[in-house]
Structure 1
Amino acid sequence: MRLENLCRLLNGTLLNTPAISEINEFGFDAKAIKRGYAFFSNDSNENDISQAISNGAYAIIATKINSIQDKEVAYIKVEDIQLSIIRLVRFMASEKSLVFYHINKIQMSIISNIHIKNAKLLPNRIHDIFKIIQNANFNDIFFSDDIEILNQLSPNYQSTALTKNIEIINSNSMFFVNFVFDEIYYQNINIPQIFLKDLCSLIETLSGNNIHFKLNEIKSLDHFEPIFIDKNFYPVSFGTSFRAIIVENDIELFKLEANYLANKFDQSDIIITASKNTKLDIENVAYFKNLNDIKSFKNFRYVLILCNKEELMERLNEKEEATLF
C-alpha cells in the first residue's frame, strides 16, 4: 500500500519525509516486525518502536511520537490506534468483498460445535480480527454475534432468516429433536427444541452459501442444559429420572426459556429459580440465598435455574464427597 494512501485511510498525519513510499505488511508485536512492515504501537513505547525499526519496519503508527529515531522510516501520528486499525480492516474487507452475517448467541454456540469448513467465525479482539481479515480470500464469509463489531467492519452485514417450514418428527423430548427441513431428515440432533428455529435459520443460511456442516457433531450448547437428578438431588444419567434441573447462564435466554416452560407445562410441574441478587421481570420466580436451597424444592418435574453449571454440579455432588469420610 502506498504511504500517502495509508495516511489518508488511517486519517493520520505524516510527521516526516521518509525514504520509503510503500508498506508491505502490518504488525502489532515489535518482536515479530519484518522488513517492509508498518508497526502499530498501542502505547507509543519508545523501546518497542526502536525494536520495530531495528527489525526493518518501514513505518511507525502511534498516537504519541516523542522523537523521530530514523528519518528514513515513516512516522504516522493518529488520534486513536484502535479506530485506525478498524478503518484499515474495513478497507481490506471491502477490497476483498467479504461477507458478514450476524447470528445470535444460540447460533454462535451451534456453529462453534459443527466446525464449518469454508466459512469462519469472527474473533472478538481487534488484533485477531485484523489478522484473519488480512489473510482472508476474496468473498470469504464470516459469522459473528457481536453487532457492534459488525457495524464497525461492515454496516451492510446480513442476518440469518427462516423462510422454510419445519416438520418435527416424534417429539418425545425437549432436549433433542428429529425433524425435516428443506426436504432433509435430521435425526436425534442434540439441540433443545426451544432452539429449533434458530438452528433451521442457520441451516438455511449455511446451505444457501454452500457451507459444509455436520449437525451430529453437536455435543452441548451450554444453554438449557438438563441435569437429571434422583429424589435426593444427586445427578443421574441422562433420561433415567423423570426430574431434571435445567441450567442457563444467560439472563435473556433464561427469560425466554421460563416463558417456554410456562406455556408447555402446568405451573405445578415447573419451578423457575434464581439468586435473590438477580431481579427478573417475570412471574413466579423462587429466589434462593445459596444453591443448596434448591434441594428443598418438592413436587416438580423441571427446575429452570439461572446459574453457572460447574458451580451447581459441585453442590449436587456434595453428597458423594461427604460419604468418603
Structure 2
Amino acid sequence: MKIETLVNLIKGELLNRPFISEVTSFIKNADEVRRGSCFFSNDFNEIKQAIKNGAYGIVSEKEFEIIDKEIAWIKTDSIKKAIFDIFKYENIKTKIYYTDKITAHILKKMNLDKKVIVLEDEETMLRALNSTEKYLISFDPKFKEIFKNIEEIEKIEIKLEQLTLFKSRYENIELNLPFVYKDNFAAAVNFFKKNNLKYTLEFELERFKPVFVNGKFEKVEYGESEMVLILGIENDEYFFKELNFLIDNTKYAKTVVVGPYNKEDLNKFFHFAMIVDMEIELNQREERNLFD
C-alpha cells in the first residue's frame, strides 16, 4: 500500500518526508515485523525493535523522536480504528462469511486450516490483511451493513447423539459438545466440509464449560465430583436456551444460577451452578502423599 494512500485512509498525519513509498504488510507484534512492514504501537521500545526488524512505516497515537528518517512516521487518533479502516479498504470486495457468535466460537475451536480466520479483534484483522487466500468469518452484525459480499453460514441437519449434559457423539466420535449447540455445530461442520477445509473434532468450548469441584472449591478431574460449575455463560440472547437445556437435563439435581448479584449462593448446596457474567477463582488443590 502506498504511504499516501495509507495516510489518507486512516486520516493520519505524516510526520516526516520518508524515502520509502509503500508498505507491504501490517503488524502489531514487533517480533513478527519483516522488511516492508507497517507497525502499529504506542510503545517506543517496541517501535525501535520493529525498525531493527525492517519496518517501513510506524503508526502511533503518540509522537516520538524520529530515529529513522527514511521510513514513514504516521500519527493517528486511534490505532484500533486505523486497523479497521485498512481492513475495510482491503477487503471491501472479499467474501465474508457471517454467523452467530457461538457458531463462530465452535468454528474457531475446530479449525485446523490457516486460511480460516474468525474476525474478533485487531490481531485477527491484521492476519486477514496479511493473507492472500482466506476464509473470513464474522459474527458482528455491523459487518452486514458495511460489507456487501456477505454469505451467511448455513445450518443443516446432522445426526448428533446426546451422551451427557456436556458430551455428544458424531460419526461414532465422542465430542466435548453440549447438545444445546447441535445446530451451531452442524453449521460449523457444513462450512468446513463445503469448502474442503481442515478441522478437528477434538475440541473444547469455553462456553457451557464444565468444571468439577469438591467441597473446598478445588478443581477435580472430570466426573470426580457431584458439584459442577458451568462457566463461560453470558446473559445474552442465548442464555435462556442454555438455561432451559440445563433445567430439562437436571430435573433430579439441585441446580442454581449464580451471577454477581448472588455470589453467596455458591456457599450453599448444589449439584450444578451456572455461572453468568462472572469469573470464578478456584482454590488450589493440595498435593497429597501416598499415606494421606
Checking the alignment, whether the CA contact within 8 Å between 2:26 and 2:126 is kept in structure 1 is no
- Give the superposition deviation at 1:199: 0.9
Percent identical among aligned pairs is: 25
Checking the alignment, whether the CA contact within 8 Å between 2:117 and 2:128 is kept in structure 1 is no
What is aligned with 2:102? Answer: 105
Relative to structure 1, is the Cα distance of residues 167 and 236 closer, same or farther in structure 2, using a 3 angstrom cutoff? same
Cα deviations by residue, 1:43-83 (Å, 9 ceiling, x for unpaired): 6x5x8777877876654544455777776554544343332
Checking the alignment, whether the CA contact within 8 Å between 2:25 and 2:130 is kept in structure 1 is no
Residues 1:190 and 2:184 are matched in the alignment:
no
Residue of structure 1 aligned with 2:157, choices 162, 165, 189: 165
Distance in 2, Cα, partners of 1:69 & 1:263: 65
Long gaps (5+) in structure 2:
none
SS of the aligned residue for 2:169 comes to strand
What is aligned with 1:224? Answer: 208
What is aligned with 2:197? Answer: 211
Q: If the length of structure 1 is used for normalisation, what is the TM-score?
A: 0.63
Checking the alignment, whether the CA contact within 8 Å between 1:177 and 1:189 is kept in structure 2 is yes
Q: Aligned-residue CA RMSD in angstroms? A: 4.7
Checking the alignment, whether the CA contact within 8 Å between 1:115 and 1:213 is kept in structure 2 is yes
Distance in 1, Cα, partners of 2:224 & 2:30: 57
Q: Which moved more, 1:31-40 or 1:186-195?
A: 31-40
What is aligned with 1:82? Answer: 80
Q: Partner letter of residue 228 of structure 2?
A: I
Distance in 2, Cα, partners of 1:290 & 1:250: 17
- Give the superposition deviation at 1:230: 9.8
Checking the alignment, whether the CA contact within 8 Å between 1:102 and 1:150 is kept in structure 2 is no
Distance in 2, Cα, partners of 1:240 & 1:38: 51
- Give the superposition deviation at 1:136: 0.8
- The 5-angstrom pairing of residues 238-277 of structure 1 reads 245=228, 247-252=230-235, 255-264=240-249, 266=251, 269-274=253-258, 277=260
Relative to structure 1, is the Cα distance of residues 124 and 228 closer, same or farther in structure 2, using a 3 angstrom cutoff? closer
Q: Partner letter of residue 161 of structure 1?
A: E
Cα deviations by residue, 1:6-43 (Å, 9 ceiling, x for unpaired): 23322334455554433344555678866655454536
SS of the aligned residue for 2:112 comes to coil
Residues 1:305 and 2:280 are matched in the alignment:
no
Q: If the length of structure 2 is used for normalisation, what is the TM-score?
A: 0.69
What is aligned with 2:264? Answer: 289
Cα deviations by residue, 1:82-114 (Å, 9 ceiling, x for unpaired): 32222222233347x363444423651x33443
Residues 1:136 and 2:131 are matched in the alignment:
yes
Equivalences, count: 287
SS of the aligned residue for 2:21 comes to coil
Q: Partner letter of residue 174 of structure 1?
A: L
Distance in 2, Cα, partners of 1:68 & 1:234: 53
Q: Partner letter of residue 275 of structure 2?
A: L
Query: Hey, which of these two has a bigger chunk of helix by percent?
Result: 1
Checking the alignment, whether the CA contact within 8 Å between 1:227 and 1:246 is kept in structure 2 is yes
What is aligned with 2:5? Answer: 5
Distance in 1, Cα, partners of 2:121 & 2:250: 42
Checking the alignment, whether the CA contact within 8 Å between 2:95 and 2:150 is kept in structure 1 is no
